[in-house]
Amino acid sequence: MTPLPVTTAHLRVLRQSFQDKCLEGEVSAGGFNWQFCWTFEGGELTVEPSLGRALIQDALLRFLVKADYHLEAGGDYTFTVRARF
């Protein structure tokens, strides 16, 4: 059986505001770089720029929801995306 392709994504939290109920940061994977803003109360995630956004958006949202209470401003994190970029 052939192993599934994987890419490691690197995430940095730049700003976390409980007053604004949002988390902002940068994520990179496979030579792509994006900025994101996650409004955790409504679960809305915006990812810019649009180039390659479809590759990371779902995996990023799953990671943010799963790691929610462990993320801190200034923190660096990694997660695995089940695709090769």
Residue 39 lies in a domain: yes
- What is the predicted pLDDT for the residue at 54? 92
* Number of residues in the chain: 85
- Residue 23: CA count within 13 A, CB half-sphere: 26
- Calpha distance 40→42 (Å, rounded): 6
Mind listing the pLDDT tens digit for each residue in 26-39? 999 999 999 999 99
pLDDT band at residue 85 under the 50/70/90 scheme? confident
Write down the mean pLDDT value for the chain. 93
- Calpha distance 80→2 (Å, rounded): 18
Residue 51 lies in a domain: yes
Residue 1 lies in a domain: no
C-alpha distances in Å from residue 66, one per residue of 1, 3, 32, 50, 51: 29, 24, 23, 24, 25
Q: Count the domains in the chain.
A: 1
pTM over 0.85, yes/no: yes
Residue range of the domain that includes 49? 7-81
